[in-house]
Amino acid sequence: MKTNDYVKYMTQTLVKYADQPKDERKRLREERKQTRASFWYRWFGILPYIFYIEVKNRRRKE
């Protein structure tokens, strides 16, 4: 990507963000936070996450 293309992309992104109402920006930020994967999955992958969930479920059953 050339420098001009990158500057153009960043300018468009910034203008698009600035044109949004404040409420819309807050709503989108909250949606992104809710759709994020859990801490265990993001940092350690799927296998430790599955193990963690199984241990957690077994404790609930007891």
Distances (CA, A) of 47 to 5, 43, 55: 41, 11, 12
Cβ neighbours for 41, distance < 8 A, ≥ 6 positions apart: 49
The pTM of this model reads 0.45
Domain with 32 in it: 3-61
pLDDT digits (tens, 9 = 90+) for 48-58: 888 888 998 98
pLDDT digits (tens, 9 = 90+) for 8-21: 999 999 999 899 99
Domain count, the chain: 1
